[in-house]
Structure 1
Amino acid sequence: MSNTSVLAPVAGRAVPLSDVPDPVFSAGMVGYGAAVDPPREVIDAVAPVAGKVLKLMPHAYVIMTPDNVGVLVHLGLDTVALDGEGFTTHVSQGDDVAAGQKVITYDVPAIEAKGLNPIVPVVVMDQRDAEAITPAEAVLEGAVIAHGDGLFIAAT
């Protein structure tokens, strides 16, 4: 067993995953983790862990750590329908990234203008045990955090 520290990919108010208004995320169907409600401005989303960009879409990305822990960052809810509008990628699928490295620029006001929720769920892919996730104090308190701050620790 090892622990993987997962950083906040964006600044904003940290929230428990159970508070995300989408059952795919709130019920842990994709995996468990936490979320960040971002500021209403154009922001940079960074890698929450170091590793390889396993999957890169304009609205979401998965980073695979050297320990084979896949961390999904999903920028907003139902944003796949935007076909990349409001997102600018800065890395390519297959690239190695450092924790905190800029991955995507996220136009939060453009997402809200489309009537979509800009919240950013961050989950460990295929993690079926909610008890394996230890949220940071900021998540439990609903505190405002900076990108790169600790979001949760995953026991893997």
Structure 2
Amino acid sequence: MTTVTSPLTGRAIGLAAVPDPVFSGAMVGPGTAIDPVREPSTAVAPVDGIIVSLHPHAFVVVDDQGHGVLTHLGIDTVQLNGEGFELLVNKGDTVRRGDPVVRWNPVAVEAAGKSPICPIVALEATAESLADLREDGDAKAGDALFTWQ
């Protein structure tokens, strides 16, 4: 079983509240979302594993059970072409839960006309394989968001 923790501090809102049909419809996979605090912050690894995909606006960590967890920093933030995001690791790096991955500023994302809401998705999972899913309430970076069987 994998415990997936919040990569950010903010408020858990659930995928249904994400302003993007691909995420809100769980087409990428099940999970939850964080509405981050509006201040410069650092997104951290939600599980121990290897960075298998890394972009300024999104990253995937795969743990030793093969579970891939996507953290997407904001919605449509790919259109910012990396501006306002600073990568702190490299693709292929091994990370521990809580290690810094990307520094960013949700305020700048909003100022650019994008939503700072961050989906945290269990890739190639079924909704039934997740338990203890947090979809509301305050969450600090490192707090449990869901478990994955």
Kindly tell me: are residues 45 and 153 of structure 1, through their superposed partners in 2, closer, same or farther at Cα, counting changes over 3 Å? same
How much is the aligned-residue C-alpha RMSD, in angstroms? Answer: 1.0
Give yes or no for contact 1:33–1:135 (8 Å, CA) kept in 2.
no
SS of 2:13's equivalent in the other structure is strand
Kindly tell me: are residues 115 and 135 of structure 1, through their superposed partners in 2, closer, same or farther at Cα, counting changes over 3 Å? farther
Matched, 1:28 2:22: no
Cα distance in 1 for partners of 2:27, 2:104 equals 24
Total equivalences in the alignment: 149
TM-score by length of 1: 0.92
2:89 to 88, 91, 105: 91
SS of 1:31's equivalent in the other structure is coil
TM-score by length of 2: 0.96
Question: Unaligned 5+ residue runs, structure 1?
Answer: none
Which 4+ runs in 1 deviate beyond 3 A? none
Give yes or no for contact 1:86–1:108 (8 Å, CA) kept in 2.
no
Cα distance in 2 for partners of 1:27, 1:133 equals 16
* 1:57-77 Cα distance to aligned partner (Å, 9 max, x none): 000000010111100000000
Question: Unaligned 5+ residue runs, structure 2?
Answer: none
SS of 1:36's equivalent in the other structure is strand
- Name the residue aligned to 2:139: 145
Cα distance in 2 for partners of 1:102, 1:83 equals 21
Give 1:52's aligned amino acid.
Answer: I
Q: Identity of aligned pairs, percent?
A: 46
1:21 is displaced (CA, Å) by 1.5
Structure with bigger strand share is 1
Give 2:128's aligned amino acid.
Answer: E
- Name the residue aligned to 1:131: 128
Cα distance in 2 for partners of 1:22, 1:87 equals 21
